[in-house]
């Protein structure tokens, strides 16, 4: 018994019509079938009713999915090739008999199941079949499909089993027929009389077929079993590999997650440690800075060394203040000489390397800050009245110089014949363009130097192209004089303040109005402090003085955040670079304010002992650390902006009309009464790096001894 047939007989047959000249070539399902009894049949068949040919054929047309799977795995024992015209009855009954004995058969027809490719299906079945039985009916020699099946089967050297009916397959009968190549005399031949074609196979024929098969059947089935086992093992191996790969990937993922968590924990621990270390360094810095200040009067040199060590530990504000105090000495200034009349203003370029001055002589000059030499002269700008003031500005990129006239009167016709604004090439001194805006009162370059905004004594400020002077946008909306116009630090917005009591915010690249702040008072200044807040200054109120106000224009548009109260007389204001602090001043005092809290950090007072000791002008360093005041008697002082403590006296100063710090806070320039401007060095007003560099220069190699370090726990 074939172990792997599982007693599931398999016979293939067609369910369609077959052409008369075909041997048949269809794949059908395997089912059990019964044939009429033959003499010598087993006793269990003796009393069965004979089946018609169609009934027998129908029994082989239905196969369960399990049986189909078995066929696909093991192949077939017999492939029955026949001519439909005279071999159909015999072929069907032969398949039925073999099936009853446990053999798997492929019964071939020329009509296949709908959609089948009969050639492809038949060829595949032949390749997986052990024996091909050729029904040698008289008409078989005319069948092309039969010849094709025999040729495919014999391709690998396998031999067919011919059943010869009436010598239809004898060498004489096959002479000249292609089948003769495959049906040779050495084949094991089974003979049947012609009558059997209509009756089915004799029992002796069945036994002969069984006998020829049994020589190899068991080994082949064992081979199939081994093949099935190999397939099973392969599937198990594939599943094992997949499981191992999945496990490997899962482990990788788990390891990665573990590593990420560990890294995060390490980073958190490292950050906590760094924070702890930073806190300790800050505490030590503040402690050593206190030791330095305590030694300032008795041993300034040691105080300077200790303060420098405090800054190295951590650049706390306390350490920087201590070092700044120990370093606060001002050398005689660098004099800028060349104007023909009083210098009205002196401002640094963005790179700190040049200073632009303008004078009552109608000209502006550009100076080298390291040598004091005049690099270039611009103007003069024509004036119709000697009392008119001039205003000059260097673009942030240092490529252009703007000069404009500021009138002393708005009398009708006073500006009609003048050209109030000119722009020059800073490198060559060449006039680039001039603007006939007779009502422009102030101007400012955008941070990228590509635009100019002008305030106006009319109610329409303008944004212009800085390369051509052409108007890009007219900012219409104010009802009366616009007193200020300024860009935000990123150049995206423009704020304009007007005497109509409003501040308007505009989009610089489109000229579109964004927000209107209704302050309710005449506006003198409106300055951006950061991305969403404006500092607004209104003219003096009767009996109250001027009070700056902080307004929100972005997060909560139109809301007043706070009012900074303190001054009782008119004043000017300047802000730090980051907007965190600003200073306001009048003749009596300068106050330094913290923008976020509204707290007054320090107050610097006028010199009340001098008749002319009132504060004429002041400058607030961009880093927010120092204030310079120039008094009416020509004296000048530098102050700590956090404590209000006097740090240094100026040497060689005079009464001044302006004072401005350099962008890096290490120098300031003043426009003195007379034809000169002065540049003072105050590196001690700079940041921690500037302070340490100055400390090294002053120390001249002197360092703390080991005993001093031990004493002050350094």
CATH at 588: 2.130.10.10
Q: Are residues 704 and 605 in the same domain?
A: no
Question: 419 versus 590: which is more confidently predicted?
Answer: 590
Residue 287, classified by CB atoms within 10 Å of its CB into exposed (0-12), middle (13-18) or buried (19+), is middle
Give the span between the Cα atoms of 594 and 323, in whole angstroms: 23
State the pLDDT at residue 362. 83
Residue 41 lies in a domain: yes
Residue 74 and residue 136 share a domain: yes
CATH number of residue 45's parent domain? 3.40.50
Same domain, 35 and 184: yes
DSSP letters, 202-249, are: -HHHHHHHHHHHHHHHHHHHHHHHHHHHHHHHHHHHHHHHHHHHHHHH
Residue-wise pLDDT for 443-494, tens only, equals 999 999 999 999 877 788 999 999 999 999 999 999 988 888 999 999 999 9
Q: If DSSP states are collapsed to H, E and C, what string results for 617-649?
A: EEEECCCCCEEEEEECCCCEEEEECCCCCEEEE
What is residue 89's DSSP assignment?
H
> Is residue 485, in this structure, part of any structural domain at all?
no
CB 390 within 8 A of CB 382: no
pLDDT of residue 622: 93
Selection from 529, 393, 408 nearest residue 452 by Cα: 393
Higher-confidence residue of 383 and 150: namely 150
Count: domains in the chain: 3
Report DSSP letters for 646-689, one per residue: EEEE-SS---EEEEEE-TTSSEEEEEESSSEEEEEE-GGGS-HH
Domain membership flag for residue 443: no
Q: Is the pLDDT of residue 28 over 80?
A: no
β-strands 676-681, 667-672: how paired?
antiparallel
Answer for the pair 343, 657: CB distance below 8 angstroms, yes or no: yes
Domain that holds residue 60: 3-201
Residue-level pLDDT at 546: 63
Is 599 a domain residue?
Answer: yes
113 and 133 within one domain: yes
Looking at the domain assignment, is residue 296 inside a domain?
Answer: yes
By residue count, the chain amounts to 714
pLDDT at 628: 94
The reported pLDDT for the residue numbered 41 is 35
How far is residue 714's CA from residue 711's CA, in Å, rounded to a whole number? Answer: 8
Domain boundary among 180, 201, 222: 201
Cα distances from 105 to residues 38, 130, 400, 486, 644, in angstroms, run 20, 10, 102, 99, 112
Q: Is the pLDDT of residue 70 over 70?
A: no
Is pLDDT at 540 greater than 90 in this prediction?
no
Q: Per-residue pLDDT tens for 299-353?
A: 999 999 999 999 999 999 999 999 999 999 888 899 999 998 888 889 999 999 9
Pairing of the two strands 636-640 and 646-649: antiparallel
As a whole number of angstroms, the distance between CA 113 and CA 125 comes to: 15
The rounded distance, in Å, linking the Cα atoms of 492 and 506 is 9
- The string of DSSP letters for 299-355 reads -HHHHHHHHHHHHHH---HHHHHHHHHHH---PPPEEEE--SS-EEEEEE-TTSSEE
The 3 state secondary structure assigned to 497-520 is EECCCEEEEEECCCCCEEEEEECC
Whether the per-residue pLDDT at 646 is higher than 70: the answer is yes
Q: Is 86 helix (H, G, I), strand (E, B) or coil?
A: helix
Give 263-309 pLDDT, tens digit per residue. 999 999 999 999 999 999 999 999 999 999 999 899 999 999 999 99
The reply to whether omega before 380 is within 30° of 0 (cis) is: yes
What is the reported pLDDT for 7?
Answer: 30
What predicted TM-score, i.e. pTM, was given to this entire model? 0.64
Assess whether 38 and 110 both reside in one domain. Answer: yes
| pLDDT for residue 1 | 35
Asked if residue 351 is part of any domain, the answer here is no
Residue 693 and residue 675 share a domain: no
Q: Considering only 69-78, 237-246, 564-573, which range has the smallest mean pLDDT?
A: 69-78
> By C-alpha distance, which of 45, 126, 51 is closest to 92?
51
Closest CA to 74 of 235, 239, 201, 224: 224
Residue 653 has pLDDT above 50, yes or no: yes
Residues 6+ apart with CB under 8 A from 151: 182
Q: Are 165 and 82 members of one domain?
A: yes
In 3D space, the residue among 427, 426, 434, 509 whose CA is nearest the CA of residue 468 turns out to be 434
Give the separation between CA 133 and CA 124, rounded to whole angstroms: 16
In a domain, 505, yes or no: no
Q: Is 472 helix (H, G, I), strand (E, B) or coil?
A: strand
Q: What is the pLDDT of residue 30?
A: 31
Q: Are residues 625 and 666 in the same domain?
A: yes
254, 183: one domain: no
Q: Is the same domain home to 111 and 246?
A: no
Exposure class string for 576-588: b at 16+ Cβ within 10 A, else e: beebebbbbbbee
In a domain, 343, yes or no: no
Picking from 150, 183, 201, the residue at the C-terminal end of a domain is 201
Give me the mean pLDDT over the 114-120 stretch.
60
Can you give the three-state secondary structure of 127-141, one letter per residue?
Answer: HCEEEEEEEECHHHH
Model confidence at 517: pLDDT above 80: yes
Query: Do 464 and 502 contact (CB within 8 A), yes or no?
Result: no
113 in the same domain as 16: yes
- 437 Cβ contact list (under 8 Å, min separation 6): 420, 421, 454, 456, 462
Report the SS3 class of residue 705. coil
- Residues 242, 166, single domain; the answer is no
């Amino acid at each position: 018994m074939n172990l792997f047939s599982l007693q599931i007989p398999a016979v293939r047959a067609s369910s369609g019509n077959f052409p008369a000249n075909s041997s048949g070539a269809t794949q059908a399902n395997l089912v059990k079938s019964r044939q009429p009894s033959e003499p010598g049949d087993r006793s269990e068949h003796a009393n069965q009713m004979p089946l018609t040919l169609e009934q027998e054929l129908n029994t082989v047309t239905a196969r369960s999915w399990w049986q189909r799977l078995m066929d696909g795995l093991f192949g077939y024992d017999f492939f029955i090739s026949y001519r439909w015209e005279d071999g159909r009855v015999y072929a069907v009954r032969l398949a039925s008999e073999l099936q009853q004995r446990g053999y798997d058969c492929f019964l071939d027809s020329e009509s296949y199941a709908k959609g089948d490719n009969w050639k492809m299906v038949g060829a595949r079945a032949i390749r997986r079949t052990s024996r091909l039985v050729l029904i040698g009916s008289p008409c078989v020699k005319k069948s092309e499909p039969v010849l094709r099946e025999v040729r495919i089967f014999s391709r690998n050297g396998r031999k067919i089993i011919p059943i010869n009916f009436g010598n239809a397959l004898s060498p004489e009968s096959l002479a000249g027929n292609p089948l003769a190549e495959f049906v040779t005399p050495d084949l094991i031949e089974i003979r049947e009389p012609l009558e059997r074609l209509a009756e089915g196979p004799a029992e002796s024929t069945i036994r002969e077929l069984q006998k020829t098969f049994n020589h190899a059947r068991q080994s082949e089935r064992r081979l199939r079993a081994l093949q099935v086992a190999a397939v099973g093992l392969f599937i198990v191996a594939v599943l094992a590999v997949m499981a191992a790969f999945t496990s490997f990937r899962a482990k990788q993922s788990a390891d990665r997650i573990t590593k990420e968590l560990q890294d995060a924990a390490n980073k958190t621990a490292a950050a906590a440690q760094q924070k702890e270390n930073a806190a300790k360094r800050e505490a030590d810095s503040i402690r050593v800075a206190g030791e330095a200040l305590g030694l300032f009067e008795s041993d300034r040199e040691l105080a300077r060394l200790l303060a420098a060590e405090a800054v190295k530990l951590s650049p706390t504000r306390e350490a920087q203040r201590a070092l700044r105090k120990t370093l606060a000495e001002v050398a005689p200034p660098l004099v800028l000489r060349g104007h023909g009349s009083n210098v009205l203003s002196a401002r640094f370029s963005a790179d700190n390397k040049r200073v632009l001055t303008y004078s009552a002589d109608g000209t502006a000059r550009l100076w080298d800050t390291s040598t004091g030499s005049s690099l270039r002269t611009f103007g003069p700008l024509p004036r119709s009245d000697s009392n008119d003031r001039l205003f000059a500005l260097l673009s942030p990129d240092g490529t252009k110089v703007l000069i404009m006239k500021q009138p002393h009167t708005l009398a009708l016709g006073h500006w009609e014949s003048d050209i109030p604004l000119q722009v020059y090439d800073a490198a060559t001194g060449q006039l680039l363009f001039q603007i006939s805006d007779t009502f422009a009162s102030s101007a400012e370059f955008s941070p990228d130097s590509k635009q100019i905004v002008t305030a106006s004594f009319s109610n329409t400020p303008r944004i212009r192209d800085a390369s051509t002077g052409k108007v890009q946008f007219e900012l219409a909306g104010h009802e009366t004089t616009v007193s200020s116009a300024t860009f935000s630090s990123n150049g995206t917005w423009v704020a304009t303040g007007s005497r109509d009591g409003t501040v308007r915010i505009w989009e610089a690249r489109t000229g579109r109005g964004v927000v209107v702040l209704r302050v309710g008072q005449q506006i003198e200044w409106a300055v951006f402090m950061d991305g969403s807040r404006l500092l607004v200054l209104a003219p003096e109120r009767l009996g109250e003085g001027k009070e700056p106000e902080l307004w929100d224009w972005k997060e909560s548009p139109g809301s007043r955040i706070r009012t900074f109260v303190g001054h009782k007389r008119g004043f000017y204001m300047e802000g730090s670079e980051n907007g965190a602090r600003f200073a306001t001043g009048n003749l009596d005092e300068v106050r330094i304010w913290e923008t976020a809290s509204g707290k007054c950090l320090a107050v610097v007072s006028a010199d009340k002992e001098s008749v002319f000791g009132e504060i004429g002008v002041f400058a607030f360093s961009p880093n927010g650390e120092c204030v310079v005041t120039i008094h009416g008697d020509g004296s000048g002082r530098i102050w700590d902006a956090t404590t209000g403590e006097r740090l240094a006296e100026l040497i060689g100063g005079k009464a001044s009309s302006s004072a401005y710090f350099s962008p890096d806070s290490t120098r300031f320039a003043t426009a003195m009464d007379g034809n000169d401007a002065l540049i003072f060095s105050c590196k001690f007003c700079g940041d921690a790096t500037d302070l340490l560099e100055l400390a090294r220069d002053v120390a001249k190699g002197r360092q703390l001894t080991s005993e001093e370090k031990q004493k002050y726990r350094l």
